[in-house]
Structure 1
Amino acid sequence: MNETEKTVLDSADIMRILELLPHRYPFLMVDRIVEIDGDRRGVGIKNVTANEPHFMGHFPDQPVMPGVLMIEGMAQTAGAMCVHSRGQSGTPKLVYFMTIDRAKFRKPVLPGDQVRYVMTKIRNRSNIWKFDGVAMVDGAKVAEAEISAMLVDEG
């Protein structure tokens, strides 16, 4: 790409995410995707609110978003990017986790925070993708992981 060419980024609001993913409340962990560069890179947003069901037990007097849900948000962001990049609409595709590597949790995520899931493709072979994921709150890294998943057409 030369200097005069610009990358055009797509985005996905909640209605588009619902078309791309089979997940539904209370397990939908991404509210919007603000940047989609094909299946190469994307940024998903999760607005963390106090009324989410996991906060009743994790923990009642000091609510903290479970780390596994941040990993799920990363995976959902990447999965939506992959389905979107295929250019198909209609029946959602299933996205299955295959691996989670090098997961680290650096800071607690609390109600009122906005998590940005920054997903960068490491590689893709056939229907399997591997991504590097970083979760950020206010510019600080709160979690990271490498994830891989398989897209399966519903049949």
Structure 2
Amino acid sequence: MDIHEILEHLPHRYPFLLVDRVLEVEPGKSIHAYKNITMNEPYFVGHFPHHPVMPGVLIMEALAQAAGILSFKTMGSKPDANSVFYFVGIDDCRFKKPVMPGDQLHLHVEIVRNMRGIWKYKAEARVDGQVVAEANLMCAKRDV
């Protein structure tokens, strides 16, 4: 999926869109996407000026956005103005290495379960094949 199709499957926009491309998606199972990390990211101005590091919470958000694309593809639908996917839980979150400008953050997410509107995922972020972060995520679709 290129950026145009990603924009059809996520409600996020600049500066909060954290998925640049989807390399592989298998509805009902898994997704592999990536985010190119550049020095132009707005958060590097303050995190940290002398040593730019991508905030861990944004790595988790990138994984959640990939999970959102996977969920919409699985449901065969797209975001609408009447509902939103909320991030409702992060379990077993670990950060193993810092993510810096020049890195390509690969996002790997698998659906573990979808019950009564609660989606559970196993998520892992990698740079150069090395795990930099991992967590079990939960999201829920709610009407707004």
TM-score, with length taken from structure 1: 0.87
Q: Is the 8 A contact 2:38 2:102 kept in 1?
A: yes
Specify whether residues 147 and 89 from structure 1 end up closer, same or farther in structure 2 by C-alpha distance, changes over 3 A only: closer
Distance 2:14 2:103 in 1: 19
Distance 1:47 1:140 in 2: 16
Distance 2:41 2:138 in 1: 27
Shift of 1:106: 0.4
One-letter identity of the residue aligned with 1:73: A
Distance 1:110 1:90 in 2: 31
Q: Deviations over 1:42-69 (max 9, x none)?
A: 1110000100100000000110000000
Q: What is the aligned partner in structure 2 of residue 96 from structure 1?
A: 86
Q: Is the 8 A contact 2:122 2:137 kept in 1?
A: yes
Aligned residue for 1:99, secondary structure, equals strand
2:25 matches 1:39: no
Number of equivalent positions = 143
Q: What is the aligned partner in structure 1 of residue 3 from structure 2?
A: 14
2:69 matches 1:77: no
Shift of 1:15: 1.0
Over the aligned positions, Cα root-mean-square deviation in angstroms equals 1.4
Using the TM superposition, name which of 129-138 and 77-86 deviates more: 77-86
Q: Is the 8 A contact 1:21 1:94 kept in 2?
A: no
Identity of aligned residues (%): 47
One-letter identity of the residue aligned with 1:61: H
2:127 matches 1:137: yes
One-letter identity of the residue aligned with 1:70: I
One-letter identity of the residue aligned with 2:117: N
Structure 1 residue runs of 4 or more that deviate by more than 4 Å after TM superposition: none
Q: What is the aligned partner in structure 2 of residue 121 from structure 1?
A: 111
Q: Extract unaligned runs of 5+ from structure 1.
A: 1-11
Shift of 1:90: 6.8
Shift of 1:141: 0.4
Q: Is the 8 A contact 2:10 2:69 kept in 1?
A: yes
Specify whether residues 89 and 122 from structure 1 end up closer, same or farther in structure 2 by C-alpha distance, changes over 3 A only: closer
Aligned residue for 2:102, secondary structure, equals coil
Distance 2:71 2:110 in 1: 11
Aligned residue for 2:77, secondary structure, equals coil
Q: Extract unaligned runs of 5+ from structure 2.
A: none
One-letter identity of the residue aligned with 2:101: P
Distance 1:80 1:30 in 2: 10
Larger Rg belongs to? 1
